[in-house]
Structure 1
């Protein structure tokens, strides 16, 4: 039976964001060891650039906790008809987030940390900042009544530190872990990551990697190059997931699940087909016991917001998308679906079987994140 609009669907967003501009200004200054606070992240008024996050002596990105508050609230909320109190920091305020979820008819949302990562010259400072953020993220889960499912940051620059933080995070009750593959200190097919893969599989929580900026590279914003960068961003996630697939990491650990955040899904059937053909026809020193399609369907999921091509392919068995995707609102970035997603979803799923649409909008995320 096909869905017929209008439909008030059950929804879980598998990708929302707590970006650095919205993080409370005292988070690190309160939680870092005293010896690291001077170099640690703090909000500083910088004159022409307004309130900025500063660490290790240099400004990095604007902060809404200061003179940039009005501009950021306007850009993310006011311009789209959502009025906010001056000085508020909506994504980091559990009460405000819960209200926005309720208004949009979203049961819960998975919250990615700042996905471009924290890059520090001092490794000890970086690890301490990761732990301080993760401690704060736990309060978002608690204070939202479980409606916000925060992901713990993993320090992917060091496989050893990454595994240690993963063990700590699952002991604290995190239901998912954020793994920034573009910041990985070593290629993912190397054996140095084995301890991490084992830890995550045993914990039974998803390992979530998200599209992000290339570390240390500022995208060109003139001569039409910003939209070029945005279009290509979805595909940067391809190298790490194929590394995990063809190295046998996933095949050897059928309980290890990986979520690809915000990569959209309409292009994935071609990738799966190419992986299948390549595994069958070309030489490799790693023999898989399952086919790439079987591994993908069992262990890999990807999120989308308003991917019309991908949504229509859900109804096509040959596409291998049904059962492997999760819908996301991308809160607070995607204003077409953040605050009133249902008209868009009615359009997307108009020709998709209702059980397939429900699994993409709710069931898959509920299963993977224990909701």
Structure 2
């Protein structure tokens, strides 16, 4: 580049990991009337206590008249889950972000309102965004744990209808990309839901990084084959967010949250090895998976180690007859890592693969780089060629999620 020539503009970001805080009407407006009193609904009540220690979130709702701080709570069957400042932390200084209950009026409107979300995306140089859920948890664990399976299935479908028709509806102008849930307790129902949503243009579905942590079979069985076959045949990406096993990494029951926050990538690491050694990619050659908020700097060593184990130990390691190629080759064809702040990973991008890395902003969580995601990207990607930056920041997401060339989602495509 000539000394007088301006550097290329940083590409408009396509974030593959943001979050929506569901507005109060999502299930109220979509469930049959007989479920209004037990389906998901918002109740304003005091917080008696709340803790997050050893990777476990433990809130307790106060009785009427309790003098604790007031919060909006999702109530569903026996579950009481408050909205918290960690759900929607953007716009607050780091020292203001504490584990506390909040109301909708106390959160940034872009957390739950489409017009305000688009405005906050504009501030952050973000063109399009894929959003994970909040109340259902990252892969719908809330409904998987419910007693009433009929209500749970209706709740999953209601969420998906809201996601496709309202959150990603006409007012989003193609800038919000749908990400749907499945009924995790039944792989045949899950396959049906994947196909139902794929028919209206959805190309990403939530799944658990480590299903046995949820009391479900592992991916080393054939239990998930109907679901995986549906994803393979419809081009639906399996999206796994850190914590989608309901068990965040920690070292001890009394470890402070800072320990788990430092090692959040660990579940992605364990999960990726599971998938690479499962044989799933040989059975389903079009299947693709992505890890949201796992960062990418750890990936090169894991691939190196996995290849060594496959080469040296596959006979006694139980994978000789089902993992037919080196794990690093499987990774290149099937796996995507996602990051929002990973200078080390970007310095080692060649060891990961330019085509296998996606950018994210994590809005509106406390880790989010909003409103400076462009500045963070520019500072960490300055050593990369413009075409590589374009790939990482938006091109890979366009290809993976079947977006238009302009990076927008089109219903029914």
TM-score normalised by L of structure 2? 0.78
Whether 1:101 aligns to 2:112 is no
SS of aligned partner of 1:192: coil
The 1:162/1:238 distance shift into structure 2, 3 A limit, reads farther
The whole-number CA distance in structure 2 between the counterparts of 1:219 and 1:275 is 24
The whole-number CA distance in structure 2 between the counterparts of 1:367 and 1:92 is 27
- TM-superposed CA distance for 1:285, in Å, is 4.2
The whole-number CA distance in structure 1 between the counterparts of 2:114 and 2:296 is 30
SS of aligned partner of 1:177: strand
The whole-number CA distance in structure 2 between the counterparts of 1:5 and 1:124 is 56
The 5 A counterparts of 1:101-250 are 101-114=121-134, 115-116=137-138, 117-118=141-142, 119-138=145-164, 139-142=166-169, 143-183=171-211, 185-212=216-243, 214-215=245-246, 225-250=256-281
- TM-superposed CA distance for 1:217, in Å, is 8.2
The 1:159/1:241 distance shift into structure 2, 3 A limit, reads farther
The residue number in structure 1 matching 2:335 is: 300
The 1:322/1:206 distance shift into structure 2, 3 A limit, reads same
The 5 A counterparts of 1:279-294 are 279-282=310-313, 283=315, 284-294=319-329
The whole-number CA distance in structure 1 between the counterparts of 2:335 and 2:73 is 37
- TM-superposed CA distance for 1:150, in Å, is 2.1
Give 1 or 2: higher helix fraction. Answer: 1
CA contact (8 A) 1:112 1:150 kept: no
Per-residue CA shift, 1:265-295, capped at 9, x if unaligned? 0001111111111111112343433321111
The whole-number CA distance in structure 1 between the counterparts of 2:27 and 2:217 is 28
The 1:167/1:151 distance shift into structure 2, 3 A limit, reads same
Whether 1:363 aligns to 2:395 is yes
- TM-superposed CA distance for 1:342, in Å, is 1.9
How many corresponding residue pairs?
Answer: 356
**What RMSD, in angstroms, separates the aligned Cα atoms of the two structures?**
3.0
The 1:4/1:178 distance shift into structure 2, 3 A limit, reads farther
Whether 1:268 aligns to 2:299 is yes
Per-residue CA shift, 1:305-361, capped at 9, x if unaligned? 0111101111xx3x1332211010111125662222122111111222222222111
CA contact (8 A) 2:207 2:240 kept: yes
Structure 2, unpaired ranges of 5+: 47-67, 97-103, 404-413
Structure 1, unpaired ranges of 5+: 64-70
CA contact (8 A) 2:22 2:133 kept: no
Whether 1:348 aligns to 2:360 is no
